[in-house]
């Protein structure tokens, strides 16, 4: 975990690629207004510092 945390960097903007599906609101935190989710995440790219 220490190695993984050391490799993390913050991005002002990012591009996330994944498989989208619509779930329903069932008490989860941070849910989008339309309950869309990405599972699995297939790619992540920082676009800004």
pTM of this structure = 0.60
| Number of domains the chain contains | 1
10-residue stretch averages of pLDDT, the chain, 49 residues long: 90 94 88 90 90
Alpha carbon distance 27, 24 (integer Å):
9
Which two structure tokens, joined as six digits, stand for 32? Answer: 């989008």
Instruction: Return the pLDDT at 25.
Output: 87
Range of the domain at 38: 2-46
The two most distant CA atoms of the chain are separated, in Å, by 36
* Helices within 1-49 (DSSP H only): 2-7
Report the C-alpha gap between 25 and 12 in whole angstroms: 28
**CB of 38 closer than 8 Å to CB of 19:** yes
């Amino acid at each position: 975990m220490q190695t993984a945390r050391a490799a993390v960097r913050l991005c002002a903007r990012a591009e996330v690629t994944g498989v989208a599906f619509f779930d329903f609101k069932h008490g989860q935190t941070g849910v989008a207004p339309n309950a869309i989710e990405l599972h699995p995440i297939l790619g992540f790219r920082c676009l800004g510092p």
